[in-house]
Structure formats: C-alpha cells, structure tokens
Structure 1
Amino acid sequence: MDTSAVEINGKGFARSVTLTANAAGPVNSAEYHLGRHYRTFAATVGLRDDSPTGGSLTFEVAIDGTREYRETIHLGESRDIKLDIGNALRIKLTVTYTGQDSGSVYYGSWGDARIQPSTP
C-alpha cells in the first residue's frame, strides 16, 4: 500500500491510497478501523496514470463486511464516490486484477480519500 500523491485520469491528488494488483497477486486490500466515529467516505477512484496501457481493475469498498461499492474502471477513467459510513466499525478497500497482461502491475488508487467525522 502506498499513500503518496498520484495522478488519476490526468488529475493530481496530494493524498491517496494505492494498491497494486497483477496475475501473481490478483487481489489486494487495505482495512481501516473507524470506531463508529465517522459518517462519510469520499474519494476519486481509478487507475494511477502510470499503470500499463489498456488496463482495468475492479474497485470495491466494504463497510463492516458488506460490499457498498463495486465497479470495474479502465485506465483513463475515474469515478467520484461518496458513501455513508455512519456507525461503521471498519472499512475495507479492495482492488482486483481483471486479467489483462499477466506480466504487468496495475495501480488502483483512491485519490484524496477522506472520511468525515460524525457530528457530536
């Protein structure tokens, strides 16, 4: 996992969560403890611009074990997502290799990933 700056679909993001996937490691995930203190998760989702041409990954977000978002995104595309995570204990971000060039590594990023605290 990498949390540095990235470019997704030509747009720069100062903070991100990036996971790699390829034929040897087709699924990669990162899980975070939320402690039931947050209400929304938002990010711009897509492949990092330095991923191989023609690539795509399936992005998933699960809240307390229940999938709340799933979409296959191709290089050069991005999606803005915003999910309700109110009262959630855990969030899991996952990328899955979708079977392009088996020798290449693909970089799935959540650009400017952020969680908004619950109001007191």
Structure 2
Amino acid sequence: MAFSRDPDLDQCPDELRPLIARCLSKDPAQRPRPAELIRELWPGPAPPPADWLPPAIIAQMGAYRAAPPPAPFPFRARRVDRRMLIAAGVGAFATLIICGLVIAVMPDNSSADHGGSPGADPSTAARATAGTAKDPSPSRPAQTVYLTDLDPVSQTANVLDPRQTWTDRPVIIDGRTHEHGITVGLGCDNQIREYALSRRYGHFRATLGLADDTPNAAPTSMKIAGDGKTIRSQTLRLGHPLTVDLDVRGLIRLSLTVDANDTCRDGTIEIALGDPLLEP
C-alpha cells in the first residue's frame, strides 16, 4: 500500500521541516537511519552520552521495556503492509528524538514563573480554590414567616399624612389584638404594597378587616394579586373580619392593593391585616 498524499508539515518549525520530510519519505531508501538522525540533531561534535535523554523519558522507556508482552489475539491478525510499519516506526522514533532534544536544551523556568514546584500548573490551583469557594448566596429552603418579616420591594406613601402610609405594627381587629399587623390609611389615592416571594412559599394566611380605631368606617375593597393576577378581591367592613388562606405556590411577587375608587374621604379609613403568615 502506498501513501495517497504528502504529509502536511506547515505547522513544523522551519529548521526541522526538511529532516521530518525525509523521515516521512515515500521511498524507504530516502529515510535517514537512527544513527544519522542522532548525528544531525545532536549539537556537540562528540556522540551523545548514554543518559542524554531527560530522566522522565528514560523512565517512561524503561516502563515500556518492563511491561509484560501483550497476550496473543485469539484470532489471526490481518496482514499489514510491511512498508507502512517501517514508515510508522521511523516516524515515531524521529519524533521521540526531536522531543528529547527540545526538552534537554529547554531552560527550566517553571519554578521562577509559577512561584512553586517545577512543572506545576498555576491554573490548577486556581481551579481547585474556585471549586471549594462557598456560594455567597446559597439557596435555602423557605421557612414560615410573617409578612412583616420581609422587606417590601415597593409601596405607596403620603408624606403629608403619615396615616396614609403602610406601617408594620400591632393592630386590633374586631376586639382581637394581632401582634404582627400591617395597616394603611386610605384617603384619596390608591394604596399598593408589593413583596418578593421568589417562588419559595406555598400558602398565605391572614385576617383582613378595618382596624377598630379607624376614623372612617366606610366599606372598602382590598385586592391581593400574584404576579399581576388577582387572587382574591374582598370588601372589608368594620366588625366583620375575614380570614383568608390563599395558594401562592410558584409566585414571584405578591401585591396588596386598596382602591380609593376616585373618592376622597372626610376621615381616613384604616385597613388592617392581622398576623399575615407565609408558609412553605
């Protein structure tokens, strides 16, 4: 079997390309012998010493010699063209000699460049350190919390009338005190408060109503929405508290809205949520 095309030696160094081309010649007679290769590649006038190869390569060659021969195949091997075997052997031997010479004459700058042991890869230590670094914001399972334990991401406020601002405080609804309460006064403008749930909770429970100390007891509507969709809309009346248990699984945002309906009240209506609880 003959080679169908010439080898591609464009990536070889210019000073080695002619010698490698001879080693890969299609004509076996044109290929240099090992002794000739050593004479051409060895820089000194005298022949190379017995231990001219780097210790690592000598040890590797010794391991190959010490390895037991492979077990014979149970089947008859196919016939291989002898010329191909010779060409492959000469090419491999030439490559081994060239690599040995390059390693032998190359200065060892590994310790100076890397600041560590010779041959150490500085990127390996960096990857190991990065792999053991802790995540600054690990994902933790949700726990049962009151809505007052979370910071709202947005809310309306009235700087002229503090009563028309969302406030976290204990509140009394229909004679019952709720230590964890949310109140907001409704005057002429809608009141909106929004929380980030990040899909961590499953249920929202709370008591809705008007605070017992509300200046104005007019019925008022409250809307609870998740990700922009209404979950519950309820009319609130003084003395008629309402307990809600809503499914908030998969929601990213939860919003509370009290609608003024384009009406201004003589006295502020105090809307209240008692013990608003979020559960996984």
Q: Alpha-carbon deviations, 1:44-80, whole Å to 9, x = none?
A: 0001111135422101100111101011111111100
Counterpart of 1:18 in structure 2 is 183
The alignment's C-alpha RMSD in Å is: 1.7
Structure 1 counterpart SS, 2:168? coil
Q: Which has the higher contact order (CA 8 A, sep 6+)?
A: 1
Aligned equivalent of 1:5, options 151, 157, 170: 170
* Aligned residue identity for 1:17: I
Where in structure 2 are there 5+ consecutive unaligned residues? 1-165
Structure 2 counterpart SS, 1:97? coil
Aligned equivalent of 1:80, options 221, 226, 243: 243
The CA deviation at 1:101 is: 7.2
In structure 2, distance between residues paired with 1:19 and 1:115: 20
In structure 1, distance between residues paired with 2:260 and 2:177: 23
Counterpart of 2:198 in structure 1 is 35
Check if 1:104 corresponds to 2:267: yes
Aligned equivalent of 1:95, options 243, 258, 262: 258
More strand by share: 1
The CA deviation at 1:112 is: 0.2
Counterpart of 2:105 in structure 1 is none
* Aligned residue identity for 1:65: G
Where in structure 1 are there 5+ consecutive unaligned residues? none
Structure 2 counterpart SS, 1:91? strand
In structure 2, distance between residues paired with 1:8 and 1:75: 8
Check if 1:65 corresponds to 2:262: no
Give the TM-score of the pair, scaled to structure 2.
Answer: 0.39
